């Protein structure tokens, strides 16, 4: 296939979590999470109980994809920020390095201005990590693909066992 796989190592996750934890504190947000553009969750910070992170990630990615489609129709490269205002909770969504999506859930304990300010700084830091992961995935694809190594040994029995 022409599209590289995405491999997230523990070290990447730790770095993402560090930035997200700080962002959540500085922005006084409830939950912060980072997903890839296909709707897979990369890392999060905050209390996720009562939330369904898988569905949230998938719908956010769909939302961003549809907005990207709108931008292209209008001749824009992208609409990089989306904001949804609710009665109690609000969602601030922005694109990181063209590849990932940063989602900030906040309530009346914060404000859109504060969130935007803190997100701006965090986005720059996250972009550096995202770029590293993407270039590593691409070079792994061009070379030996060492991070796929555990799966080279999958047997037919392993696969059949999934369905038993």
Applying CB under 8 A, the residues found at the interface with another protein are 1-10, 12-14, 36-40, 42-43, 52, 54-55, 58-59, 62, 65-66, 68-69, 145, 147-148, 150-154, 158-159, 161-163
Please answer whether residues 91 and 112 qualify as being in contact, where contact means their C-beta atoms are separated by less than 8 angstroms. no
Structure token pair of residue 19: 């930035």
Which C-beta is closer to another protein: that of 121 or that of 141? 141
- Cα separation of 110 and 92, whole Å? 12
Which C-beta is closer to another protein: that of 128 or that of 144? 144
What's the closest the beta carbon of residue 110 comes to another protein, in angstroms?
27
Decide: helix, strand or coil at residue 95. Answer: strand
What's the closest the beta carbon of residue 66 comes to another protein, in angstroms?
7
Return the CA Rg of the chain: 18
Which C-beta is closer to another protein: that of 19 or that of 27? 19
Total length of the chain: 164
Looking up tokens 């931008």 gives 71
- Cα separation of 61 and 39, whole Å? 5
What's the closest the beta carbon of residue 120 comes to another protein, in angstroms?
26
Which C-beta is closer to another protein: that of 5 or that of 78? 5
What's the closest the beta carbon of residue 135 comes to another protein, in angstroms?
15
């Amino acid at each position: 296939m022409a599209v590289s796989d995405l491999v997230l190592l523990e070290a990447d996750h730790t770095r993402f979590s560090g930035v997200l934890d700080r962002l959540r504190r500085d922005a006084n947000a409830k939950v912060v999470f980072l997903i890839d553009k296909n709707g897979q969750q990369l890392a999060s910070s905050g209390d996720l109980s009562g939330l369904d992170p898988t569905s949230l990630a998938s719908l956010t990615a769909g939302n961003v994809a549809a907005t990207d489609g709108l931008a292209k129709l209008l001749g824009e490269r992208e609409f990089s920020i989306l904001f949804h205002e609710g009665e109690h909770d609000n969602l601030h969504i922005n694109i990181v390095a063209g590849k990932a999506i940063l989602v900030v859930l906040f309530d009346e304990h914060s404000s859109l201005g504060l969130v935007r300010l803190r997100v701006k700084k965090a986005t720059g830091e996250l972009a550096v990590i995202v770029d590293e992961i993407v270039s590593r995935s691409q070079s792994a694809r061009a070379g030996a693909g060492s991070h796929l190594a555990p799966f080279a040994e999958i047997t037919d029995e392993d696969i059949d066992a999934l369905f038993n």
